[in-house]
Structure 1
Amino acid sequence: MKRISILALALLAPGAFADQMVIAGNAIRDGDSVSRLIKYAGQPIARGSGTVCLNRDCSRRGSAATWIYLHDDIQYTVSIRNSKIVAIDWKHAN
């Protein structure tokens, strides 16, 4: 019964394991800083950036960026808002 409960929890909460990349044993996750990302993953192979509205009337603005990494035949797309990682998506490069 205990094994079934653990398996059910793992299946019901896939987001707990989804948004991370592991480089040389160092996990980089949502909420980590850009400096940690650069420290362990280095510079991206491509990047884009701009300014986004932080509220409905755009009276508050913030920075947004998307960085692309290629590691072990996996392409990672890292979304950054105000120098913090907000999402990590991946796909096979081939």
Structure 2
Amino acid sequence: MFCVHQVDPATGEAEEDGVEDEYQLEDLEIVAADYMLKVGVSNFKNAWESMDPDNERIDEYGLGVKESLAETVTAVIDILGMQPCEVSPLSQF
């Protein structure tokens, strides 16, 4: 619900009395990846160690059955919106 008010174009003032109205919104799913930004970090180890422990998030995710390690890594990247970095042996995926 929201309230629509007419605005006087000459003064820019809104009228006090408004009309209640509704706007139908579609369902929207927000996941962890929506809060992630893939950025390159030149020295991941230093960046990781300098983070405040209060910023740590622990959660469990189900990946289902995957055919290979590469497919599993890709699923984690997609679910979390992250990327492998530095000299990670998995960074070629």
When the two structures are superposed, what TM-score results if normalisation uses the length of structure 2? 0.25
Relative contact order (C-alpha < 8 Å, sep 6+): which is higher? Answer: 2
When the two structures are superposed, what TM-score results if normalisation uses the length of structure 1? 0.25
Query: Which one has a bigger Cα radius of gyration?
Result: 2
Answer 1 or 2: which has greater strand percent.
1
